[in-house]
Amino acid sequence: MKIPSGYLYLTVAFLTAAVLSATAFSIGQMRMEALRQASLMQESHIRTFWELLRAKGTPFRVVNGKLLAGEYVVNGNYELPDKAEEIFGGTATIFMGRVRVSTNVLKADGSRAVGTMLEGPPYDAVFIKGKPYRGEARILGIPYFTAYDPIRNDTGEVIGALYTGVKKSEFFSTYERLRFNQILMAVVLVVFFAALTFLLVRMRRGTEAVLVESEQRLRSILYGSPIPQFVIDRNHRVLYWNEALEKCTGLSAREMVGTTGHWKAFYSTARPCLADLLVDGTIDELDTWYPGKHHRSLLLEEAHEVTDFFPALGEGGRWLFVTAALVHDSSNEVIGAVETLEDITARKNAEEALRLSEEKFRNMTASAMSGIVMIDQDGRITFWNDAAEGIFGWSAAEALDRDVHELLAPRCYREMSAAAFPLFRETGAGAVVGKHLELVALRKDGEEFPIDLALSSMRLQDRWHAIGIINDISDRKQAEDDLQEQVHFLQELIDSIPHPIFFKNTSGSYLGCNKAFEEILGIKKHEIVGKTSLDISPRGVADVHHASDAHLLRSGGVQVYESSVQAVNGTIREVIFSKAVFTRKDGTFGGIVGTILDITERKRMENALRESEDRFRRTFDQSPIGAAIVSLEYRFLRVNAEWCRVTGYSEQELLALRLSDISHPEDLDSDLGMKNRLIAGEIDTFQMDKRYVRKDGRTIWARLSVCLMKDGSGKPLYFLPMMEDITERKKLEEEVLKSRKLESLGVLAGGIAHDFNNLLTGILGNISLAKMYSEPDDTVWRRLDEAEKAAGRARDLTFQLLTFSKGGAPIRKTCSIRQIIMDSAIFALTGSNVRCAFDIPDDILPVDVDAGQIGQVIHNLIINAVQAMPEGGDIRVLAENAVSCPGRAETGGRWVRISLEDRGTGIPEENLQKIFDPYFTTKPKGSGLGLATVYSIIRNHGGHIEVESTLGEGTTFHLYLPASESSHPPQESREPTIVPGSGRVLVMDDEEVVREVAAELVSALGYSVEVCCDGVEMLNLYRKAKEQGNAFAVVIMDLTIPGRMGGKEAMSHLLEYDPEALGIVSSGYNTDPILTSYRDFGFSGFVAKPFTVHELATVLQAVLRSR
């Protein structure tokens, strides 16, 4: 059957009216809900503001034109309004009377609106009727939702008001957006029904012209709709993409219509939209694509709604409310789907802000130290925080909805509370509302305990509620009881003190005194309290006391002066008044407390003692050693000039200190221990060497002698310490001790080096022999050559040990400094994470040096640089010719300057002058000898050393060595050609390995050889050979043979027997002075252990040629 078009249009009109009616009803409900939320928000805000204010203290009062919360001054202090704004936003103000005294409301010029007046209905409600006000008001011309509560003092009088508010425009912005969205939804539905109608008309007419007209009309409606929407067919192709959606997504209809890429507008990767899922009938996949974000529409059957965040939209993403519905043809077949989108970002932000505000309130009440309890106008508990649970023992689940009086109030309060509730239900007021009370409450276990209660009221959902801020004051009450006990105890205590004590208020009236004060005046305490000095003392004396009291109350501090006191019987006592002001809690002066010291007897003795004191003073002050008088508490009472000189303090500075204050911390226990033994009478005096710390921080040594001075009855009076400065003596003793230790260490190092050189002689000799039996091109020869070089470096180490042990004179020879620098630096860097860059020119001048000692210098400096760069780095070594040397300008001449630069931690400026001192070190395990040895070697070579350092940047050492007189640098060292020799050689050494190696080497050089172990055997063999006509051409003698005749003595005897005898001295003590001046002892040459075959051949050839 055909349905007339008129019926279809009538149906559309009916549905449109229904939708619009539902929309109007929904908007009305939304406004009512918005007003309800505004009311709840007002109560939450004003409740939070009350908590902030009460946290500053109670009661509330006006003092000298200032509103006080406890001791907290509200006027001009914006901490509370600003804190309220931080917690819940909006505006907040505290009024004193009707005047704003603390606010975050700003005037047009940006200044705070303090000093402006409260007017209109809020003023009438708060100050005329004494009631809270909730409603709308204009604040500086701007409409606000407002909440005003009266602030009352202890008597219930309204002395001010508390206000919170939020701009209507800000609050209703969310509501307006929701209302607009509802209207848009209605439009969508109307458009949807219109579209559906046109589709039905199109199908009914069945003509192409009507279809074209209907589609154009539908397209026009959809495209011009203010609601973003699109339509897809059953193949997911976009049929319509309206102008509002173009603006929302930035994609035009031209780009989208006819495509299936509509997902690009909302997502970064391909995925179905809500309309796609409906077209495909895959509703069960909604949980996959929109988990927890979708639901069926309550308005349209088969429609679904999604609330989701789309990060790809706009700047920072947008929240959208998406509705999708299927479109059917006349046979109810699905031909597509329509999807509409609503931007709900502002609403989501408002909801989040409201949630955060409520969460802040919950967190604040949950973390509050005070119990917070809210009851409704029927007395039932509606709010109970964690602190309340801790105070009363009831959990929130147990307490909520219970009658507060049955749960918490003792029976004595219940009738009074019941009588007060009718007024509270009516007006929110009551005898205890707005007051601060101390009451008794019940715990869960039935125990009664004292509480502090601050009660206020507020109106929520047309019902009055009371909020109680509760604190358990059991401890405070106990403290008050304890305080009364203490007052009684203190009175008993001061009564037991033999010296008169009194205290006055700021007007000069006596507040109290002890019994000694009663006795000195001859008046009882009740006759003294409330009177002034003018009432109980003679006029002249009273005037003095009154004037001193006035000055003390003006200036504060402590006042001590001598005066007199006259008792009622006329007796006059000479006394010392000691008075001081005491302060109240607010820091103002509360009065004067004073003591009286009766010095009548002391005055009589003073004249007799004065002459004796003068004599003692002269002796004390002029003593050549430090002298002091120290109290039993070890505080200086007097010091002489010598004590001041030794410690560096002035007399006034010392008088403010104790003797223990200047004692070295490590000596303090023994010092105080001896002091305690003196006081205990175990000893009469003590003497000890101890350390003191001078004012400038330096530590000194002193010989302290202390005796305890006593009075005639044997009672200790004070200590008399005498101090003699022995710092220099101690330093000398320490230097001697260090020298002895160093000498012992040197002997040990020399012995180790000697023995090690003997072993190296065997090693080097055998290597040299092995090299002689192989060819330079052989791999074995190269390995032996490397071993020989390593043994040579080991020999250098023994040279350093010997230099350390003996500090021997350098054995000079002309050298190229290049090889010494490179060999020593590379060896020192072995195994480290530091690299070395060399800058040494080819024309560097030769130098006359002991290569071993200069190598030790380079080695020590490189090691120091490595230790200064624990994380690794680069060292730069530079050598250059110089025409002058710092500090040696008068000598002129030629010099070689060697600079070693690191990028380490640097040396503090205060240490630069001390680094070459023996024993000075900043390393926990350093000996302080490395740089001292460097300095000694350079000085023995006639050179000079300087250092530059910047803390945190690095250090550079500059070495200056005199250049050799030779104009040509020595040739690079090459192994000399061995020339075979002839003749007989006698070798004397106490080490068998040395004798065997030496014999092998001498034999390899073409000589015939015999060996012996000491000087006696050598002389016997030499005589025997000479007498047989087979004399030895040369004798090689070990210098040191423990327990037997060594080379020095043997050579002397040999020359006595044969003045023409030739001797070569050999020693493992390479720094022995005999080696540098061997000819003075009759030797013709020397060879230092360990030696190679080439070194031995060279010496033998030179000695035999000299014959």
Phi and psi angles of residue 326, each rounded to the nearest 5 degrees, phi first: -75, 150
Q: Which residue has the higher pLDDT, 85 or 762?
A: 85
Considering the domain architecture, whether residues 785 and 925 belong to the same structural domain is answered as yes
> Residue 177: is its pLDDT beyond 70?
no
> Residue 915: is its pLDDT beyond 50?
yes
pLDDT digits (tens, 9 = 90+) for 559-576: 999 888 888 888 888 999
Q: Is residue 899 part of a domain?
A: yes
Tell me, what's the pLDDT at 429?
Answer: 83
**Torsion-angle region of 966 (φ positive above 0: left; ψ -120 to 50: alpha; else: beta):** beta
Ranked by mean pLDDT, the top range of 164-173, 350-359, 566-575 is 566-575
Q: Is residue 206 part of a domain?
A: no
CATH number, domain of 383, equals: 3.30.450.20
Residues forming a β-bridge with 472 = 451
- In this prediction, residues 902-906 reach a mean pLDDT of 91
Considering the domain architecture, whether residues 340 and 380 belong to the same structural domain is answered as no
- Domain tally, the chain: 7
pLDDT digits (tens, 9 = 90+) for 1048-1077: 999 999 999 999 999 999 887 666 677 778
pLDDT digits (tens, 9 = 90+) for 823-870: 888 878 877 888 999 999 989 999 999 887 898 899 889 988 988 888
> Residue 315: is its pLDDT beyond 90?
no
> Residue 1012: is its pLDDT beyond 90?
yes
- In this prediction, residues 262-288 reach a mean pLDDT of 90
Considering the domain architecture, whether residues 20 and 102 belong to the same structural domain is answered as yes
Q: What is the largest CA-CA distance in the chain?
A: 163
Contact 721, 627 (CB under 8 A): yes
> Residue 126: is its pLDDT beyond 60?
yes
Q: Which residue has the higher pLDDT, 929 or 508?
A: 508
Q: Is residue 461 part of a domain?
A: yes
Considering the domain architecture, whether residues 560 and 662 belong to the same structural domain is answered as no
Lowest-confidence segment of 135-139, 218-222, 768-772, 840-844 by average pLDDT: 218-222
Tell me, what's the pLDDT at 556?
Answer: 87
Q: Which residues contact 667 (CB under 8 A, 6 or more apart)?
A: 690, 691
Considering the domain architecture, whether residues 334 and 414 belong to the same structural domain is answered as no
Considering the domain architecture, whether residues 406 and 437 belong to the same structural domain is answered as yes
* Predicted confidence band of residue 748 (pLDDT cuts 50, 70, 90): low
Tell me, what's the pLDDT at 210?
Answer: 44
- In this prediction, residues 323-332 reach a mean pLDDT of 87
Considering the domain architecture, whether residues 758 and 693 belong to the same structural domain is answered as no
Q: Which residue has the higher pLDDT, 587 or 225?
A: 587
Rounded Cα distance between 36 and 39, Å, is 5
* Predicted confidence band of residue 159 (pLDDT cuts 50, 70, 90): very high
Q: Is residue 503 part of a domain?
A: yes
* Predicted confidence band of residue 804 (pLDDT cuts 50, 70, 90): low
Q: At what angle do helices 345-367 and 168-205 cross, to 10 degrees?
A: 140
- In this prediction, residues 125-149 reach a mean pLDDT of 84
* % residues pLDDT > 70 (the chain): 83
Tell me, what's the pLDDT at 632?
Answer: 92
- In this prediction, residues 220-232 reach a mean pLDDT of 76
Tell me, what's the pLDDT at 890?
Answer: 55
Q: Is residue 609 part of a domain?
A: no
CATH number, domain of 1036, equals: 3.40.50.2300
Considering the domain architecture, whether residues 383 and 273 belong to the same structural domain is answered as no
Considering the domain architecture, whether residues 940 and 850 belong to the same structural domain is answered as yes
Mean pLDDT of the chain: 83
Last residue of a domain, one of 288, 321, 350: 350
Considering the domain architecture, whether residues 538 and 392 belong to the same structural domain is answered as no
Rounded to the nearest angstrom, the gap between the alpha carbon of residue 209 and the centroid of all alpha carbons in its chain is: 84
- In this prediction, residues 311-323 reach a mean pLDDT of 86
- In this prediction, residues 339-362 reach a mean pLDDT of 79
Tell me, what's the pLDDT at 735?
Answer: 57
Considering the domain architecture, whether residues 580 and 641 belong to the same structural domain is answered as no
DSSP states along 394-459: --HHHHTTSBHHHHH--HHHHHHHHHHHHHHHHHS--SSTT-EEEEEEE-TTS-EEEEEEEEEEEE
Lowest-confidence segment of 439-443, 585-589, 717-721 by average pLDDT: 585-589
Considering the domain architecture, whether residues 839 and 931 belong to the same structural domain is answered as yes
- In this prediction, residues 779-785 reach a mean pLDDT of 73
Tell me, what's the pLDDT at 800?
Answer: 55
* Predicted confidence band of residue 412 (pLDDT cuts 50, 70, 90): confident
> Residue 1091: is its pLDDT beyond 50?
yes
Angle subtended at Cα 812 by Cα 807 and Cα 818, rounded to the nearest 5 degrees: 105
Q: Is residue 615 part of a domain?
A: no
* Predicted confidence band of residue 174 (pLDDT cuts 50, 70, 90): low
> Residue 9: is its pLDDT beyond 70?
no
Question: Domain limits at 412?
Answer: 368-472
